[in-house]
Chain A
Amino acid sequence: MPALEVKDLNTSFRTDDGIVQAVSGVSFSLDEGHTLGVVGESGSGKSVTFLTVMGLVDPRQAQVSGSVQLHGEQMLGASRARLQQIRGATIGMIFQDPMTSLNPVKTIGWQLEEAVLIHQDVTRKDARRQAIEILKEVEIPRADQRVDDYPHQFSGGMRQRVMIAMALINGPEILIADEPTTALDVTTQAQILRLMKRLQDQHKMAIVMITHDLGVVAELADDVLVMYGGKVVEEAKVDDLFAKPEMPYTWGLLGSLPRLNSAGERLDQIPGQPPSLLNPPSGCAFHPRCEYVMSRCRTEMPDLRSSAQGADHRFRCFLEDEERTRIWQGKRAALVSEDAA
């Protein structure tokens, strides 16, 4: 049984301007100890999907349907108390901006202890010992002193370590990391990713790595979901995805990856804007930006279908197999030649 199984998840928000369909029909499963990379632009629904999984969307504004099962237990519609039990204990979560994700008026020790005391029946002293221990584990120097410092006394990278420590302090089975490195500089990014990998190995936990950076996915993930306009548009094992992406949007994402030896050149961009979720385009959500758009794309949404490479590589596109193979080969040749140049 997978650790987390999501089926046909829909999340929409009522706003003053109308209904925003943020997530539509998302399904995936996460196996124990595995890493799932979730890739997409801002507004693709990747963060909302996991906020919905955690029950963190405001029920007065959001409408949710589908199924979220944690070890077979239905989480959608579970009681608030049960969700609070799961959050921070079974599933830990860390967020994009470590500068704003910690309460500025409480010491980090207090915030770590709070996480312990919510879920464990221990004394504050004990909680403090745990806090110092986990800070050591995330490689905060002089952890026993710094535990009494406030967030503003830490650097961005250090704060993200604190966030990770806080997510891990109750030994969760799943860690959802929502763009954990986006706000950090490149060297710190690498350190944080290495740290996460080490901790994953030690704690044997599954990780959901939400990112817009395929590089991070390549480094960490076992499986990949590509999301666009609130929908999964391609899913595959990480190697398959990089070997033969099947969908024009994924091609665009790969083209926009920075390459170390192409200094000075502009990266390829996907032209146009991400789709409005309030008034989504008809048919395939990607069609206004797709170079290979056909008339059919404007009226119909393609279903997820399996790739010729295997049943677990699935994507949405109306282009014929041969056509896609031909285009991808052309693209890859261009990327490789660029690399070689």
Chain B
Amino acid sequence: MRRKHTLSLFMLVMGVALLVAATTVGAASSATHKVNTTGVNKGGTLKVNENSADFDFVDPQLAYRTDDWDMLFSTAMQLVSFPEKSGPAGSQLYPQAATAFPTVSADGKTYTFHIRPGLKFSDGSPVTAASFQRSWERILSPKMGSPLGVNLDLQNVVVGADAFLNGKASTISGISAKGLTLTFHLTKPNATFVSILSMQWFTAVKSNMPYSSTGLNVYPAAGPYYIASRDPGRSTVLKRNPYYNGNRPANPDQIVFTPNVDPDQSLLQVKAGQSDFDLGGIPPTAASNLATTYGINKGRFFVGPTSCVLYMAMNNARPPFDNVALRKAVNWAIDRPAQVRLLGAYAGKRTDQILVPGIPGYKPFNVYAIKGADVTKAKAVGGSAIASAPTLNVVHTTSSYSTQRAQVAEYNLKQVGFKINDVPTPATNYYQVIQTKGTTYNFVTNGGWCADYFDPFDYLNVLFDGSKIQAANNNNYSYFDNASFNSSLNAASALSGAARASAYAKLDQELMVKYAPVVPYLISTNRYFVSARVKNWIYSSYFGAPYLNALAVG
């Protein structure tokens, strides 16, 4: 799991009616969106480090990692988007380039948007409906070779997209752009469609932006900023879009990203004022000192929630963890506080369930040993099956932190009587090892999941629907497959509103109480440290990072 760097792309199966749109769109129906920017100075250069990482792509139709998206958010002009607000308000969609939320036809298959007049790209040219049509073409064109649209099954969402993807048509027949009016014809009704449009892939791009399988580095953008230069591995520079006339904040004159910095060095640079903050966070060991010196969320050191739940997975398809008693025993045996301590101070909140705060249906409960390992209880629950269990293949990646985490877990497992075979696996083939059906691992320590969307479907159905287990690349790498639970998941996904939330709350509890396929242990946080001059820190729990365009260094 690359928590900060790889978005766990959401695996929504289109056609399943989700209420995401309803929960996130409904509240922010006011067409005008205002951000309070009084008392914030404009100007200056915001210097951002990215420790141990670089943007892989800055082309909006090839970019998909969290860092990419957090950066692109400042250059984006979308039909609908999130406001630069902290807390739950930050996850309420509002019409951004569109004058209002779309009008939907009675059959639910035609969506019509009206684009705000007067919006301009950084080269001065106007934003039109065609600008949004182009982003769909670029994400599906065979000339782009982008895996992203296909991962989301977008070719089956809009009429004519499949033919376009396969090179049989030069345009997507289901999208029509006339002046400022944009119309989507869907293959079938789709409640998530508006939410999907909030993703960074669907930003306005110039209608003649060329296809490029290598991705464009510099191109006109319609958001508050545009990418002025990009030198992969060296720097990326955003400059203020002179033609932007909306009311989103655009505080720094420019934003400069320096990639691949060593985490410790990056922290020193921020302390010395040579950099403003690190988009990748701080080294875990530094958290405690920074909190003591600067306090938490008091101007320099920030701890922000994420939607990420970390867990260790058991292979339910193989002995001994096909035995539910042993899976429960392990949930008693793992020392959750010890695991959290490994991540340094303020790493997050201990948990023994899958859903996280902010997700509809999250209802905290506590069934296992959340305050520390309970060896006696674990032995009692596991019984004689522990002693007769075959040796466990414990798989973990080879970074020093992963190794430590595995060592602690292995100690806990040995304490209750399991035999251990430690299998360190390089990160480059780790996922292939665990995500291939029929894998011989018994226990992995590197599991985790972050929301692509604030909906329980994205956790429970994506991770535990056994009917979706495929030959390779399984997100359900616990290989948990229970027919009755599968059908409950399907039933819940068809519900909406309060019924949906309470159904998922029940399933969340049932999963751990009855089946315990994994060992959840932490809802993680992101920890940031900023230079003394940084003001106006507004944290997005969606990105797990601040809104860069709102930060002020002037």
So, do A and B actually touch in the complex, CB under 8 Å?
no
